């Protein structure tokens, strides 16, 4: 009889939602299958029994309680984000300031380098200025006084 | 001409509070009943139904009608109910024959005196007993079968809607429904045999 093929179509057949082709196929099967005919009849009685389950009455306070809960819902636009959304020009200005601050902080430190270089030059100048004369080779090489010392006594200037 | 649910929800999106009220009036009872049949706790069903409406309200600005409104609504309800059940928030209580059928009357219905043999009282007792047995049988179904039966039998949703809510194909849904009704047919055989005409 191949009843399984028709099982899933029985419910749609019984509640009138089967297509014309499905209805025709099921009816043809029911003519030949006593078991499925009996099942259809039992399903109809079952649906009648299920209708006996009474409906619940909603409590009279339901609507009032729901309205209270809805009234307690936060309004749209509260909080910092909502405040900014409410004032878009301010939000844009703040965003530009933040972007500018980020850009400035990302710039290379040029002024600092100049200041550092100046300090270094001053220090080097001080070092040269205070350098003792005998350590200055340029001075020694051009020192005319050494040329008057006799050769036998004089030694070649010690090379530093 | 009455506005469709989608149009009402689009009006809610545009800020029309009255449209939200109309949707509330229309779907409050069906939602509470669906959730009650899912979790079997009247107070919890109302809390969950309120949560559904709250989520609809919160999502109003982003609402885009990609499906029927009922598909969206019951999908939220199904997810909330299944999460609540899986969290174990609701004890699966045995239903007594004195159980009230109203979420708000605080269980003040009078107890039935078994010594009272008047036909009305006996019939009332039998009806309560049958209702409890029916609820218990539905509760015993696996989650997806339970959702499928409730949405199909009590809320008359289309197959494609139910399939979207359960995230399955229509053929899989029809198979689910057949297995669910087959199980209920067996579980409720004594009631079915006595005649289902109420």
Q: What is the pLDDT of residues A10-31, one digit of tens each?
A: 999 999 999 999 999 999 999 9
Count the neighbouring beta carbons within 10 Å of the beta carbon of residue B192: 22
Interior/surface letters B81-102, b for 16+ CB within 10 angstroms, e for the rest: bbebbeeeebeeeebebebbeb
Question: A30-34, A96-100, A142-146, A156-160: lowest mean pLDDT where?
Answer: A156-160
pLDDT at res. A91:
67
Any domain includes A131: no
Domain that holds residue B153: 115-192
Any domain includes A28: yes
Any domain includes A111: no
B194 φ/ψ angles, rounded to the nearest 5 degrees? -75, -5
| Structure tokens belonging to residue A57 | 């009455």
Any domain includes A29: yes
Are B138 and B186 members of one domain? yes
Any domain includes B109: no
Are B24 and B80 members of one domain? yes
Question: How far does the CA of residue B128 sit from the closest CA of chain A (Å)?
Answer: 9
- Residue B45: give its domain's CATH number: 1.10.1740.10
Any domain includes A127: no
pLDDT at res. A97:
82
Domain that holds residue A42: 4-50
Domain count, chain A: 1
A7 touches chain B (CB under 8 A): yes
CA distance B130 to B103: 19
CA distance A108 to A14: 82
pLDDT at res. A69:
94
CB-based contact B46 A58, cutoff 8 Å: yes
Any domain includes A46: yes
| Structure tokens belonging to residue B122 | 């006996």
User: Binning pLDDT at 50, 70 and 90, where does residue A95 land?
Assistant: confident
Domain count, chain B: 2
pLDDT at res. A136:
55
- Residue B151: give its domain's CATH number: 1.10.10.10
3-class secondary structure, A61: coil
Are B82 and B131 members of one domain? no
pLDDT at res. A107:
79
Any domain includes A97: no
Predicted confidence (pLDDT) per residue in A123-157, tens digit:
666 665 655 555 555 555 555 554 555 555 444 54
Are B170 and B137 members of one domain? yes
CA distance B71 to B124: 36
A47 touches chain B (CB under 8 A): yes
- Residues paired with A57 in a beta bridge: B102
User: Binning pLDDT at 50, 70 and 90, where does residue A159 land?
Assistant: very low
For A84, the enclosing helix (H) or strand (E) is helix A79-86
Supply the pTM of this predicted model: 0.69
Point out the residues of chain B with pLDDT beneath 50.
Answer: 93-101, 104-112, 196-198
Any domain includes B188: yes
pLDDT at res. B90:
62
User: Binning pLDDT at 50, 70 and 90, where does residue A60 land?
Assistant: very high
User: Binning pLDDT at 50, 70 and 90, where does residue A64 land?
Assistant: very high
Composition of chain A by helix, strand, coil, percent to 5: 70, 0, 30
User: Of the candidates B57, B130, B192, which has its C-beta nearest A46's C-beta?
Assistant: B192
Contacts of B24 in chain A (CB under 8 A): 63, 66
pLDDT at res. B198:
43
A63 touches chain B (CB under 8 A): yes
């Amino acid at each position: 009889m191949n009843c399984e093929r028709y099982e899933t179509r029985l419910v749609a057949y019984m509640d009138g939602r089967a297509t014309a082709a499905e209805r025709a196929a099921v009816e043809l099967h029911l003519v030949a299958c006593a078991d499925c005919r009996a099942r259809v009849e039992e399903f109809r009685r079952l649906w009648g029994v299920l209708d006996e389950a009474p409906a619940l009455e909603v409590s009279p306070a339901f609507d009032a309680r729901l309205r209270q809960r809805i009234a307690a819902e936060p309004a749209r636009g509260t909080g910092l984000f909502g405040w900014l959304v409410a004032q878009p020009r301010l939000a844009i200005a703040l965003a530009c300031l933040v972007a500018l601050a980020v850009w400035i902080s990302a710039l290379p430190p040029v002024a600092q380098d100049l200041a550092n270089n100046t300090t270094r030059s001053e220090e080097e100048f001080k070092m040269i200025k205070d350098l003792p004369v005998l350590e200055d080779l340029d001075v020694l090489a051009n020192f005319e006084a050494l040329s008057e010392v006799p050769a036998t006594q004089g030694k070649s200037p010690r090379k530093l | 001409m009455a506005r469709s649910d989608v149009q009402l929800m689009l009006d809610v999106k545009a800020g029309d509070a009255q449209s939200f009220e109309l949707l509330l009036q229309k779907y409050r009872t069906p939602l509470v009943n669906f959730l009650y049949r899912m979790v079997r706790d009247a107070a919890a069903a109302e809390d969950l139904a309120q949560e559904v409406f709250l989520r609809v309200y919160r999502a109003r600005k982003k609402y885009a009608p990609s499906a029927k409104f009922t598909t969206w609504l019951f999908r939220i309800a199904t997810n909330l109910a299944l999460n609540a059940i899986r969290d174990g928030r609701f004890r699966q209580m045995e239903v007594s024959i004195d159980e009230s059928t109203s979420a708000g009357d605080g269980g003040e219905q009078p107890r039935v005196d078994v010594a009272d043999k008047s036909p009305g009282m006996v019939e009332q007792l039998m009806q309560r007993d049958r209702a409890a047995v029916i609820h218990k049988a539905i509760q015993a179904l696996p989650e997806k079968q339970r959702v499928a039966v409730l949405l199909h039998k009590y809320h008359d949703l289309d197959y494609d809607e139910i399939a979207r809510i359960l995230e399955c194909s229509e053929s899989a849904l029809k198979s689910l429904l057949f297995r669910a009704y087959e199980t209920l047919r067996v579980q409720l055989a004594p009631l079915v045999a006595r005649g289902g005409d109420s």
